[in-house]
Every structure is written in C-alpha cells, then in structure tokens.
Amino acid sequence: MTCKTTLANGVRILTHQVPHVRSVAMGVWVDVGARDESEEEAGYAHFLEHMMFKGTKRRSAYELAKAFDAIGGQSNAFTTMETTCYHARVMDTHLPIMVDILSDMFLNSSLDPEEVENERPVILQEIGMLEDCPEDFAHHLLEKYAWGDHPLGKSILGSPKNIQNVRSEDLLTFFRKYYCPSRVIVSLAGNLTHQHVVDLLAPSFERLIPGPGRAERKTPVLQRGVRVTARPIEQVHLCLGAPGLAITHEDRFAASLLTTILGGNMSSRLFQEIREKRGLAYSVYAFSSGHMDTGMMGIYAGVAPSTVETSAELIHKELKGLCTEPVTLEELEGARAYTKGNILLSMENTENLMVKLAQNEIHFGRYLPVEETLARVDEVTQESIMDLARIAFGEKHFLVSVLGPSDNAAALGEKFGMPMKEACGEKKS
C-alpha cells in the first residue's frame, strides 16, 4: 500500500508499506541536480552532498557515523544530473532513530568551514580518479561530446577550479536557493505505517523555508560526428550515442526492450556476435539514459586497437538489421521475460521500492503500480521496436566517441554512414 501526504510548505512524504519484511529504507530526495547549477556553481550539488555527512549543530561527523553504526544502519547519498538523494536503511525497530539522524543531516548541516577544507582534497581526488577508469571516462566523454556546452555535458563532480574556490557560505547559499520545500520528497518503504512516519517527519520538515528554486531547464540537442581522445592505454574504448527518449516518454518500454535485445544481456545480439562468436571484446553492451526532457541510446565496447574498425562494422551491421527487419518473436518474448523478471525481483528490496516511489513522484506525479508497468511491457510489439530503431539508429544520427590509442576518425565515420569531412578527431595527450 502506498500513501502520500503533502505538508503545508510543499514537502511531500511518501510511504510504501511492506508488512512482511523487517527493514525500512528512507530517502530524502531533492528534485535538483548538476544540470541545474550555473557555470559558477558547477559541482556544488555534489560537494553539498558530501558535506551533509560532516556534522550538524547536534552531532559531529564522527557522531553521525557512530549513530548509524550503533543501529546496524546503512547510509549513503548520490547526486545525478537531475536529482540528489540522501538515503539509509535500518531494521524496522530503528525507524525513529533513522528519521532523526537523516532529518538532522539534511536540515541542520553545520557546513563547518574547517570540514569544507578537509573535504576539498577528497573531491579533487574524486575528479582525478575519473580518468583512472577508462570505461567510466569513456562514458563521461560521450556525454560531454553528445551535449556540448549544455549542463548535461558537464561532470557532476564540477571543475577543479570551482572546487578549489568553493566556501562554506557558497554551499549554504546553494542550499537555501535550490533546496526549497516544493522540490523535496521524503520516501520510505518497508515495515511501517504512514501516519507514524508523518508524525516523525512533519515537525522537522515543515520548518523548511521556501527559496527561489531552480530555473526552468533547457533541452539540449544531441551532437553528431566522431570524436577521438588519444590516450596511451591498452584498449580502445568505443562509445556510440544516438537519439534517445525522455524518461517519461510513452515509448520508453519499447526502448527498454530494444536495448535488451541489442546488448542488454548475455543472449543479446552484440554480446553474442562480438564477444561469444568472435572474441573481440570482454565488455560490450547497449544502454539507454533518460532525462526529463531528452535522452540517449548508446553502445559501449572495449576492444583491441587492431580490431576497432572490425568491431565498429559489426555494431553498425546489427544496428542496420534492427532498422530493416523486425526482431524475432523469440527475441521479443525473451527480452520481455527478462525485463519483467528484473522488475519483479527489484520489488523484493525495500531500498529499490523507496527509489521507485520517489522517482515516480518526480517524473509522473503519482505512483505507478507494478501491474501497470508490466502491462505496458506486454504491449510492446515487434513493429514498435523497429520503428524506434529507425528513429534512433537511422543513418547519420550517431555520435561516436573513441578513447585510447586510435585516431582513425575518418574510417569510423565511414562505418556509421557519416561523410569523412564530418568525422572530427580530437587528440589529447
């Protein structure tokens, strides 16, 4: 059973009662992320996320950590392009304590200047670590080139310059500006009762003062062409981006099945063709990333430098096949069963339920019952998948990002149907 209460200031409290479990998961969500920052604020949302664990007016950073450890709790936080979340999970008997700790962290963070100085090098190291993992860095480059100067093309971590210069008062101003009540959602799932949760949360969260909030978001245009970032590493990391769907789009279920059939599991076309049959890659997969107003469908493959063009040709062949012939009924039913299985299995975890509850509220303004989602998956047809493939993977729609010891941009451009003059290589040492 799901319930919702909106406090007088606009804070929304959502619960999903699961009586047969012994855990409760809680998340304090803010409908604000890295894409909402100004150029000068880039990285502030992520920095503020770190600072929430660094002490409040009542508890030091050590005391916050000790309080969670004392009840066997798990706590963490994350920042995305569009949301920020502070979350925890505990035994149901410790619900009041968890609510008290998370509420204190979120509403009463001290943002101590000394703690800001202590955390600054940690975040700078986090920025530096990005290039140490080529696969992660390859995805970052794809986003950067896909969205260009738009905030979606920036790193969630921010720029080293901003992180070097940010002060405690800057983070406090950011909190007061963006963390307004109408953008705050508190979601909980597990062995609980809704009214008990509201009674625990309301006294603290109803005191949150409204602020100006985030500006209206602007929709970017996906760039195309070929971008090469040269690095002296062992593999070539090939990423391909194509027009995708907004996270609320009616065809999102077809997109999910299309991604699964193309490269979403071990029986998918790309995995079978590139890894199993030819042994060209250890890691190869398709993915779909959606935002509130846009999205991208993509493919990743990590291959040897000598097999880049062959791998690209095989990827293009699979994409062309999706555009010209319907997927088989066997493929469709397999992807459908795989997707529905993942959805149902995720429902057995209270943390997943808490996330689903909040994301449904942010994206749709209501809770989407699992039965409704499963029904929409069942509605996807072979024709709808092919229609979507034609839109996403039609000729000359691609952005290709290459990371590694390769600079054959023109050849890769030709593989994906782009004229040589549009294959723009960018080398970096």
SS3 of 83-116: CEEEEEEEEHHHHHHHHHHHHHHHHHECCCHHHH
Q: Using only C-alpha atoms, what is the Rg of the chain?
A: 23
234 as an active site residue: the answer is no
The stretch 168-187 carries a mean pLDDT of: 96
Q: What tokens were used for 373?
A: 């989602």
2-205 and 225-422: same fold?
A: yes
225-422 maps to which CATH number? 3.30.830.10
The stretch 158-168 carries a mean pLDDT of: 95
Res. 89 pLDDT band, cuts 50 70 90: very high
The stretch 145-158 carries a mean pLDDT of: 95
Indicate the average pLDDT of the chain. 93
Percent of the chain with pLDDT over 90: 86
pLDDT at 419: 45
pLDDT at 266: 96
Q: What tokens were used for 410?
A: 């023109």
Tell me the per-residue pLDDT of 13-29, one tens digit each, with 9 for 90 and over: 999 999 999 999 999 99
Res. 398 pLDDT band, cuts 50 70 90: confident
2-205 maps to which CATH number? 3.30.830.10
**Separation of alpha carbons 394 and 324, rounded Å:** 10
The stretch 122-137 carries a mean pLDDT of: 94
Full-model pTM: 0.92
Catalytic residue among 41, 49, 115, 351: 49
Res. 193 pLDDT band, cuts 50 70 90: very high
Residue 416 has pLDDT above 90, yes or no: no
pLDDT at 425: 43
Res. 423 pLDDT band, cuts 50 70 90: very low
For the chain, give every domain's residue range. Answer: 2-205, 225-422
Res. 200 pLDDT band, cuts 50 70 90: very high
Res. 214 pLDDT band, cuts 50 70 90: confident
Reported in sequence order, the residue ranges of 196-311 that DSSP labels E, i.e. its strands, are 225-230, 236-243, 281-290, 295-303
Tell me the per-residue pLDDT of 92-109, one tens digit each, with 9 for 90 and over: 999 999 999 999 999 999
**Separation of alpha carbons 406 and 169, rounded Å:** 45
Tell me the per-residue pLDDT of 230-280, one tens digit each, with 9 for 90 and over: 899 999 999 999 999 999 999 999 999 999 999 999 999 999 999 999 999
pLDDT at 157: 96
Tell me the per-residue pLDDT of 44-59, one tens digit each, with 9 for 90 and over: 999 999 999 999 999 9
- Which residue, 336, 13, 400, is CA-closest to 202? 13
Q: What tokens were used for 167?
A: 């002060």
Which range is least confidently modeled, 91-105, 198-212, 290-304, 406-420?
406-420
3 state SS of 15: strand
Residue 308 φ/ψ region, left for φ over 0, alpha for ψ in the -120 to 50 degree band, beta for the rest: alpha
Tell me the per-residue pLDDT of 337-367, one tens digit each, with 9 for 90 and over: 999 999 999 999 999 999 999 999 999 999 9
CB-neighbour burial class of residue 279 (10 A; exposed 0-12, middle 13-18, buried 19+): exposed
pLDDT at 213: 83
pLDDT at 411: 67
CA 423 to chain CA centroid, Å, is 29
Residue 407 has pLDDT above 70, yes or no: no
Res. 396 pLDDT band, cuts 50 70 90: low
pLDDT at 368: 95
